[in-house]
Amino acid sequence: MPMTVLNIEELLKKEHVFKQLSVAELVEHAIRNNEGVLAENGALSVETGKFTGRSPKDKFIVRDQSCETHIDWGHVNQPMESDKFEQLLQKVLRYMNEADQLYYTEAAAGADTHFTLPVRVVTEYAWHNLFAKQLFLREYPTVAAFEPFTVVYAPHFKADPLVDGTNSETFIAMSFEHRIVLIGGTEYAGEIKKSIFSVMNYLLPQQDVLSMHCSANVGHEGDVALFFGLSGTGKTTLSADDSRQLIGDDEHGWSHDGVFNIEGGCYAKTVNLSREKEPQIFDAIRFGTVLENVVLDDTRTPDYDDTSLTENTRAAYPITAIDNIAIPSRAGHPKTIVFLTADAYGVLPPISKLTKEQAMYHFLSGYTSKLAGTERGVTEPEATFSTCFGSPFLPLIPEKYATMLGELIDRHGVTVYLVNTGWTGGAYGTGSRIKLAYTRTMVNAAVNGLLADIPTEEHPVFGLHMPIEVPGVPSDLLNPVKVWADPAVYTEQATALAHKFKQNFTRFVSATDAIKSAGPRV
Ligand SMILES: Nc1ncnc2c1ncn2[C@@H]1O[C@H](COP(=O)(O)OP(=O)(O)O)[C@@H](O)[C@H]1O
Ligand SMILES: C=C(OP(=O)(O)O)C(=O)O
Ligand SMILES: [Mn+2]
């Protein structure tokens, strides 16, 4: 006899589903279920086990008629066939039907009501529900631009790759036809927010809204700044600034009316966090915050320097935990855009101004670097190129987002800077990371228009325009060759990196000649 087919609506009617619990109730449940403990600062502290970061190789988009011809299929957007998805969904729903308890929350993504996606989240863990409550917008729209999406999260359910068409026991599978994101085999909560971001990166461009992996803030005069960058480059850190209202730390839309946050909360890295260097983030960590993989000492005080569980320790809190924020999370058109890169080769200048073509070149390139390892003495970093500074989250071809950004930059006369928040004076291992205080000073100078009239010198290899002075920053720091002990070694390193840029850019065959020649000259 065939097993009865379950659907989400039936599952939600079951008695073991706790619906729409408050933050306090979810914290209580998480503790009662032994999912985590309270830290001294009031945050809920949890560990995520094997996965302490996203698992891009386990991410799939269901290939159905509605999306088949639109998606940029490949390593990032791996197809899953509809029948496999439906089979996996059944298994997960049956598994969840048997669980002791489930949690359900209604939320939303997209702070501009013209472009809001209703989001429903069903989880096995109370703390995953708390995470969703903190990261998404709280108000569930009754009338909305898009049909609701439901995230179904079963961390302990394991897929069978041979039967389910997955790569491993872990999966993040999204279906535009069923409007479902199915997550299993991992406990890392970041998958919840980044999968809905991927969904928005598919939906928003259809409404002529650019979706962007960037943070955003706004100054006293309504001057909006966007900070694009890959993980670890400083989006969250640099957008939290007492002198400017925070709009959001990671995901935004840019419509004909201006920019808006996609989320309602922030997801900050807490490695080496201190009140002295990052006061806004430090103080946002309190009751209601979820701390992921942060080690607590005997008094349950977080030890942010302890990376024994992972380097990727995190805090998830609602944006309202930050003092100076824009309410609602919206503002006008950007005046300044900053591309953040953490260059571990010590090559790129700490700040440079980009021409329109250079902006397009660097947006398509999406360069940053990964450190070879976390052990001491490892000196070989690895160049990473992630197009549009967010390749893992983009269902459409990169040129779609790049073209939209180029048009918006033109239309609104936006000034674009490239900021290296990484190394200087040598590569990782010999040089040192550019001091956060200097980066903040340079970024503030840029967004406040103070660099507009300062003369620049041109970088001999990258052709970038480096300001010769920035008030409050030692001038020698501004031109990297001056910080390196041996200029010849610097030039060698710069040339080697330039070749990596060139090599990577060969994939953008359709870019105009002007954009192609805005890259490094080697
Ligand atoms: N010069 C710098 N600029 C920005 N961040 C820096 C700098 N030096 C060190 N950092 C650290 O790098 C990390 C940047 O991470 P984060 O802001 O969370 O990046 P993202 O949000 O882009 O993933 C933080 O831990 C921050 O303290
Ligand atoms: C949550 C993430 O974002 P970021 O590191 O950019 O803050 C992530 O990439 O998993
Ligand atoms: Mn971030």
Please state, in angstroms and rounded to a whole number, the distance separating the CA atoms of residues 202 and 137: 19
Model confidence over 18-42: pLDDT tens digits?
999 999 999 999 999 999 999 999 9
Average pLDDT over residues 349-376: 89
Please state, in angstroms and rounded to a whole number, the distance separating the CA atoms of residues 266 and 223: 21
C-alpha 392 to ligand 2 mean position (Å): 10
> 213 among the known binding-site residues?
yes
> 236 among the known binding-site residues?
yes
Average pLDDT over residues 369-382: 70
- DSSP character for 397? -
Sequence-ordered list of residues with C-beta below 8 angstroms from that of 64, at least 6 positions apart, any chain:
82, 175, 176, 177
Mean of the per-residue pLDDT values of the chain: 96
This prediction has a pTM of 0.97
Residues with catalytic annotation? 54, 194, 213, 231, 235-236, 250, 314
484 backbone φψ class: left, alpha, beta (φ>0; ψ -120 to 50): beta
Average pLDDT over residues 98-115: 98
Are residues 484 and 501 in contact, defined by beta-carbon separation less than 8 angstroms? no
Please state, in angstroms and rounded to a whole number, the distance separating the CA atoms of residues 247 and 263: 10
Q: How buried is residue 116: exposed, middle or buried, by Cβ count under 10 Å (0-12/13-18/19+)?
A: buried
Mutation to probe ligand 1, out of 269, 272, 434, 435 (largest number of atoms < 8 A from CB) = 269
- Is 439 close to ligand 1, i.e. is its CB under 6 Å away? yes
Mutation to probe ligand 1, out of 233, 237, 389 (largest number of atoms < 8 A from CB) = 237
- Is 229 close to ligand 1, i.e. is its CB under 6 Å away? yes
C-alpha 416 to ligand 1 mean position (Å): 20
The answer, yes or no, to whether residue 401 has pLDDT greater than 80, is: yes
The pLDDT of residue 429 is 87
Residue nearest to atom 6 of ligand 2 (CA): 231
- Is 134 close to ligand 1, i.e. is its CB under 6 Å away? no
Residue nearest to atom 3 of ligand 2 (CA): 231
Amino acid sitting at position 29: H
Any bridge partners for residue 395, and if so which? none
The answer, yes or no, to whether residue 375 has pLDDT greater than 60, is: no
Of 189, 183, 191, give the one whose Cα is nearest residue 152.
183
The pLDDT of residue 105 is 98
Ligand nearest to the CA of 237: 1
C-alpha 217 to ligand 3 mean position (Å): 14
pLDDT band at 1; cut points 50, 70, 90 = very low
Phi, psi values for residue 510, rounded to 5°: -85, 0
The answer, yes or no, to whether residue 148 has pLDDT greater than 70, is: yes
- Is 271 close to ligand 1, i.e. is its CB under 6 Å away? yes
Of 193, 173, 175, 198, give the one whose Cα is nearest residue 183.
173
Cα distances (angstroms) measured from residue 442 to each of 350, 433, 465, 474, 478: 8, 15, 14, 11, 10
C-alpha 346 to ligand 1 mean position (Å): 16
The pLDDT of residue 380 is 77
Model confidence over 457-478: pLDDT tens digits?
999 999 999 999 999 999 999 9
Residues with CB under 5 Å of ion ligand 3 are: 235-236, 250
> 428 among the known binding-site residues?
no
* Edge-to-edge strand list for the sheet holding 180-184: 17-19, 102-109, 117-123, 149-154, 180-184, 171-175, 59-63, 78-81
Are residues 278 and 239 in contact, defined by beta-carbon separation less than 8 angstroms? no
The pLDDT of residue 3 is 62
The answer, yes or no, to whether residue 291 has pLDDT greater than 50, is: yes
Q: For residue 234, which atom of ligand 1 is closest to its CA?
A: 17
Residue nearest to atom 1 of ligand 1 (CA): 436
Q: For residue 213, which atom of ligand 2 is closest to its CA?
A: 6
> 16 among the known binding-site residues?
no
Sequence-ordered list of residues with C-beta below 8 angstroms from that of 178, at least 6 positions apart, any chain:
62, 85, 86, 89
Are residues 365 and 229 in contact, defined by beta-carbon separation less than 8 angstroms? no
Are residues 366 and 388 in contact, defined by beta-carbon separation less than 8 angstroms? yes
C-alpha 522 to ligand 3 mean position (Å): 33
> 439 among the known binding-site residues?
yes
Residues in the ligand 2 pocket, defined by CB under 6 Å? 54, 190, 194, 231, 235-236, 250, 267
The answer, yes or no, to whether residue 431 has pLDDT greater than 60, is: yes
